[in-house]
Amino acid sequence: MPPVFPEIWHLRLTVPPEAVAVFEEVFELFAESVTMFMDDRSGISDGDCPWHIEGYSRNPPERAAILSALAAVAAANGLDLPDLTVERLPNVDWVLENLRDFPPIDAGRFYVHGSHCQGSPPVGRIGIEIDAGTAFGSGEHATTRGCLLALDGLGKRRRRTRALDLGSGSGILGIAMAHMWAAKVVCTDIDPSAVKVCAGNAANNRVGARVTAVVSDGYRNPLVGRGRPYDVVCANILARPLCRFAPDLAAHLAPGGVAVLSGLLEWQERMVMAAHEAQGLRLKRRILIDGWATLVIG
């Protein structure tokens, strides 16, 4: 009998650029992980290129409910209803498949790699060992690389002692901060399995004593409040949650503290910055990688 692996369901839409934000919100309701990317193989200008929105879930999606939600937002915004694809991914070992496609990542002083990589990190680099697993986020995405580059830049200025990684996934950013500053780091995720993986990764990377991983929807867990004020906050989530959490971020950030925000597309910068400027926070640096933005604010 072949081995049985956890189910993973794949949702997909193809939409025009002006419809990405609208339909992204629908996918956030039904998928555990959402990603968007431009179809740059279409041979037309970037402003007209279609975008793909993809979601992944470990629970069978309710197709009728998703279609109903898509139809409602399409009608409300005067958009055509896109075709929805829902499929169960093949019964394969996705951990093994991801490992095969997970080359080491160089980002400033950080060197992120899987346990399948042999040898030591390059001299002078901070090695972070992360294997693909049940938590989404193994670091290959442009947003994670942007955050690591932002942290590398911040590390050249002064030490930070209290840090928060909001929406930590596998814990890469929290581990990076714990290594770079020997900081006490609170890592949060809404997914209990991700929190378990994050804690395990922190222990495997010899920073388990500095990292506390907890389940939290945004800043709601009381432990997050007890850890403030934070010298640095990393939030690699999505644009609309970043906007929604802007008042909480301002309330948890120490005077002179900085935040690293990512998970947003370049055209979503204005929306995200407006929400944070309303809280008295200003842009200090921006990093663009493959159409994705990382913002350093304070």
The tens digit of pLDDT for each residue in 48-61 reads: 678 888 888 888 88
Determine which of 65-74, 112-121, 213-222 has the lowest per-residue pLDDT on average: 112-121
CATH 3.30.70.120 residue ranges of the chain are: 9-92
Average confidence score pLDDT of the chain:
85
* Mean pLDDT calculated for residue range 187-202: 90
Listed in sequence order, the residues at least 6 apart from 269 whose beta carbon sits closer than 8 Å to its beta carbon are 286, 293, 295
Please write down the long-range contacts of 275-284, taking CB distance under 8 Å and 24 or more positions apart.
Answer: 275/242, 275/243, 275/244, 275/246, 276/246, 276/249, 276/250, 278/246, 279/246, 279/247, 279/249, 279/250, 280/250, 281/246, 281/249, 281/250, 281/253, 284/258
CATH superfamily, with its number, for domain 153-297: Vaccinia Virus protein VP39 (3.40.50.150)
Query: Residues of 52-73 as b/e, b for ≥16 C-beta within 10 angstroms?
Result: ebbbbbeeebeeeebeebbeee
pTM: 0.75
* Mean pLDDT calculated for residue range 213-227: 95
Write down the pLDDT at residue 9.
86
Q: How confident is the model at residue 134 (pLDDT cuts 50, 70, 90)?
A: very low
pLDDT tens by residue, 244-280: 999 999 999 999 999 999 998 888 899 999 999 999 9
- Assigned architecture for domain 9-92: 2-Layer Sandwich (3.30)
CATH 3.40.50.150 residue ranges of the chain are: 153-297
